[in-house]
Structure 1
Amino acid sequence: MLLQGFLNLNKPFDWTSHDCVARVRKLLRLKRVGHAGTLDPAATGVLPIALGKATRLLQYLPENKAYKATIRLGVRTTTDDLKGEIITSQACAGLSLAEVKTALAQFEGKIEQIPPNYSAIQVDGKRLYDLARQGKIVEVPVRTVEIFQIEVLDWREGDFPELDVAIACGSGTYIRAIARDLGAILETGGTLAALIRTQSSGFDLTDSLTFTDLETKLQGGTFQPLTPDAALQHLLSVTLPATSAQKWCQGQRVSLNSDVTGIVRVYQEETRFLGVGQLQDEVLIPQMVFEPIS
C-alpha cells in the first residue's frame, strides 16, 4: 500500500515530536515522515504527521492552534513547567478568580512574548535548551504572537491554586510563557502544570489516533492515512480541464479564468488532487505538484 497523506496523532506524554516521527517510520516502514508544529515532551495532543510526498505539503498547513492548559500559581520553575527545578514557591490562597481573569485579559490580541529559556529556538545557531543545560545565560529574543481567545474552564482554590484555560492562538506561541507571565502579573509566580493541544494545522483532538489505535489498525489492515488535501481545506480550490492539468503538472503555467488570487488547491475534475499552485492575474503557477500526469 502506497502511504501518502496525513496521520492525526495524539502525542503521548514525555515523548518528543522527533520520537513520534521515528516511531511512525518504524511502524509504517516508511522513510519520508515529518511533523507540523513541535510539541513539548510534557504536552499531549494533536501532532500532525505527514507521510510520503505529503511532507512537501507541510509548509502550506494552517498555523493556528488551540490548547487546554492547567496553570499552577505560586510556583516558578526553571523550565516554566513542572519538569523544571523550583525557583520560588509561595502560597497565595487569597488570590481570587476575578483577579486572575483581569490579568488573563491582558494576553488577548497581539502581544510581545519572551520564549522560555528551555525551548527549541535557536540563538547564534544553538538551541536555547542546550545553552540552558550548559548554564549559559543568553538574551532570548522577544517575538510577537497572537492570542485569539483565552477562556477559563475551571478554577481550584488552595495555597497553590490552579486554573484550566482554553487558549486559541497563532503560530509560535508558548503556553509555558503565558503561565510564567500570568504569575508575574499577579506577583505570585506561575508555571504550566499540564498541556493538551486540542487543535493544530486543521486537525482536531477528537479525530486523533494514539499509537495503540494506530498499531491496532495496522494489525487489522484497516489503517488509511487522511488524504493529502485534508489539511489544506483552508485554501480555496480551483479545477483544471484535462489538457491544462497535464501542462500544469509538467511545471508549466496555465491560464485560468478566475477571480481568485493567492495559494490554492489544484484539482482535475474536482476530485483528483494535483497539488498546490499560486493564482495571480488569471495565471496558475505550479508551487508543489503532488500528483503528476503522464
Structure 2
Amino acid sequence: MDPCALTRTKRVRRALHGVLLLDKPLGLSSNDALQKVKRLLNAEKAGHTGTLDPLATGLLPLCFGAATKFSQLNLEADKAYVATLRLGQTTTTGDREGEIVSERAIAFTPEHLQGALQQLRGEIDQVPPMHSALKHEGKALYELARQGKTVEREPRRVTIHALELLSQTDETLQISVRCSKGTYIRTLAEDLGELLGCGAHLSALRRTHSGPLTLDRAITLAELELLDDAARLRHLLPPDLLLADCPLIRLGADDAGKLLAGIRRRTTLAPAARVRTFGPEPQAFLGSARIAGGELIPERLLSPIELQTLLAGPASLT
C-alpha cells in the first residue's frame, strides 16, 4: 500500500449559499471560470447564470447552494454589453477567432451609421450563427460547423432595447447594447456591417449588466486568488441578489414558518408576479413567492438547513 495514502484526507466541500459576481477573464470558458472559483471557495454546489464565450469578458454571476434555485431568473433577464466591431472584414465565425472570408472598403457617412443603428433597435429577427451551442438533431451547431456543414436555422425574435455608438476609428466601432435574452452580439455585429455595406465581425465583447446585477460589484479571478479564505467569503453576496428587482416582503415568525411549510397566506398586498420573502430576522431570506387572488403563494423556498446556514453568517464557515 502506498504509505502516502494513509495520510491523505478527502477534501470536504462546504455548503455555501450566495452569489459571487465574477469579472470573467478573456480566454476562459464560463464553466472553467466557475470550477476555479468553486475550488477557491471550497464550495459544495455551484452553477452560473448563462455562458459567456471565451472571447468575452465581464459580468458572470456565479450561484452557490440555495442561490442556484433562482439562477433561471437571471438567465432569462436582459443583458448589456460593450462590443467592439472590426469593420471591412467578415469571418467564418462572426468573430475574430474565425478565418477572414471577405474584405470590403469602409465608406459610410455618420448619417448612414445612425440610420443603420436605428434599423437594429427594437424587435428584430436574428438567424442564430452556425458557431453556437444550439442543437440540431442532438448535435451542437458548432460541432457541425467544424465539420464544414451548414444547416437551416429558423430566425429568432429578440429585442434590442438600446444600441448606441460609443467610439469610432478608421477600422472599428465600439457600441453599447442592451438586449433581451438569446441575442447573439456577433450576429448583431454582422448585421450592422451589412447595413453599412462594408461587413464586420466582433473583435471584443464585455458584459456589463445581467438583469439587476452590474459589473461594478464584480471581482476578477486574479484578485480572488490573492485573498485569504475569510476575504473570499466576504465577496459572497446574499442569494436574494438574483431577485433584487422584485418587491420585498417581510413576514412575522408565524407566517414565515407557514410559508416555508408551503402554506398559502391571505394578504392585502397588491398582486405581483414574483416577490422575495423574508422572515423577522434581517438575513432570513425565505425564497420567492407570488401574490394572486389575495394570497401569498410560495414558489421556490430555502430549506431549513439552508436558512440556518445563512443566519449563522460567513464566520461560521471559516
**TM-score, L = length of structure 2:** 0.86
| Equivalent position SS for 2:207 | strand
Equivalent in the alignment of 1:168: 178
C-alpha distance in structure 2 between counterparts of 1:148 and 1:76, whole Å: 25
Equivalent in the alignment of 1:140: 153
C-alpha distance in structure 1 between counterparts of 2:256 and 2:280, whole Å: 9
| Equivalent position SS for 1:132 | helix
Q: Deviations over 1:222-274 (max 9, x none)?
A: 53201111221111122222112111101222222212322111111273211
| Equivalent position SS for 1:18 | helix
Consecutive unaligned residues in structure 1, runs of 5 or more: none
C-alpha distance in structure 2 between counterparts of 1:141 and 1:213, whole Å: 42
Against the structure 1 CA distance between its residues 53 and 144, is the aligned structure 2 distance closer, same or farther, given a 3 Å change threshold?
same
| Equivalent position SS for 2:276 | strand
Greater share of helix: 2
Equivalent in the alignment of 1:273: 285
CA RMSD of aligned residues (A): 1.8
Alignment of 1:103-118 (within 5 A): 103-118=116-131
2:97 to 72, 83, 94: 83
Matching residue's letter, 2:175: V
| Equivalent position SS for 2:228 | helix
Q: Deviations over 1:155-182 (max 9, x none)?
A: 102xxx2111111111111110011111
C-alpha distance in structure 1 between counterparts of 2:138 and 2:71, whole Å: 23
1:29 to 42, 47, 58: 42
Alignment of 1:1-294 (within 5 A): 2-61=15-74, 63-92=77-106, 94-157=107-170, 161-219=171-229, 221-224=231-234, 225-269=236-280, 271=282, 272-292=284-304
**Cα displacement (A) at 1:103:** 0.8
* Stretch moving more, 274-283 or 42-51: 274-283
Against the structure 1 CA distance between its residues 240 and 220, is the aligned structure 2 distance closer, same or farther, given a 3 Å change threshold?
closer
Against the structure 1 CA distance between its residues 21 and 190, is the aligned structure 2 distance closer, same or farther, given a 3 Å change threshold?
same
**Cα displacement (A) at 1:49:** 0.4
**Structure number with bigger Rg:** 2
Q: How many residue pairs are counted as aligned between the two chains?
A: 290
Matching residue's letter, 2:217: D
Maintained 8 Å contact 1:48/1:201:
no
C-alpha distance in structure 1 between counterparts of 2:208 and 2:270, whole Å: 35
Q: Deviations over 1:163-211 (max 9, x none)?
A: 1111111111111001111112222111001111111132211211001
**TM-score, L = length of structure 1:** 0.93
Maintained 8 Å contact 1:275/1:291:
no
Maintained 8 Å contact 1:217/1:223:
no
Q: Deviations over 1:109-144 (max 9, x none)?
A: 011111211111222222111111122211122111
Maintained 8 Å contact 2:41/2:232:
no
Maintained 8 Å contact 1:261/1:281:
no
Maintained 8 Å contact 1:36/1:201:
no
Matching residue's letter, 2:268: N
**Cα displacement (A) at 1:68:** 0.6
Q: Deviations over 1:20-70 (max 9, x none)?
A: 111122212223111112111101000010011211111223601111111
